[in-house]
Amino acid sequence: MAKRGGFPGGAMPGNMNNLMKQAQKMQRQMEEKTKEMESKDWEATAGGGAVTVRVSGKKEVLSVKLSEEVVDPDDIEMLEDLIVAATNEALRKMEEENSAMMEQLTGGLGGLF
C-alpha cells in the first residue's frame, strides 16, 4: 500500500526553495516591468485624426488635442463621442501591451498573478 503524505527522499523542500526563488525573481521582474510601463504613454485618434488622446501607463489622460473643424457648438455630442473613442482606444493599446508583457514574463501563468 502506498504511503500517503510526506515527501519521499526529502526532495520537496529543496524544490520548494527553488520555486520560491523563481517566484521572487519573477516578482522583481514584474515590478521592473510595471515601472517601465508606468513611464510610457500611448496615443490614439478618432474621427480621422480630429481628436487625439494620450494616456500614461498609470491610466491617466495626459492630453487631448482637437482639430478646429471638429469643434462645432451645434454638435457637442459628436465631439464628446470622439473624445471617448480616442481615450478608450489609447487605454486599450496600453492594456494590450501590458497584457503581452505580463504573458511573456509569467509564461502563461496569468491565472496565478
Query: pLDDT (tens digit, 9 = 90+) per residue, 69-100?
Result: 999 999 999 999 999 999 999 999 999 999 99
Which pLDDT tens digit goes with each residue over 34-48?
A: 898 889 999 999 999
**0.85 exceeded by pTM:** no
- What's the pLDDT at 107? 77
pLDDT over threshold 60, residue 5? no
pLDDT band, very low/low/confident/very high, at 113 (cuts 50, 70, 90): very low
Element (H, E) at 96: helix 76-106
With a pLDDT cut of 90, the percent of the chain lying above it is 49
- What's the pLDDT at 26? 86
The cell 480621422 sits on which residue? Answer: 48
pLDDT over threshold 70, residue 23? yes
- What's the pLDDT at 13? 65
User: Do residues 54 and 61 lie in contact, with contact meaning Cβ atoms separated by under 8 Å?
Assistant: yes
Q: Among 22, 26, 36, 28, which residue's Cα sits nearest to residue 98?
A: 36
DSSP 45: E
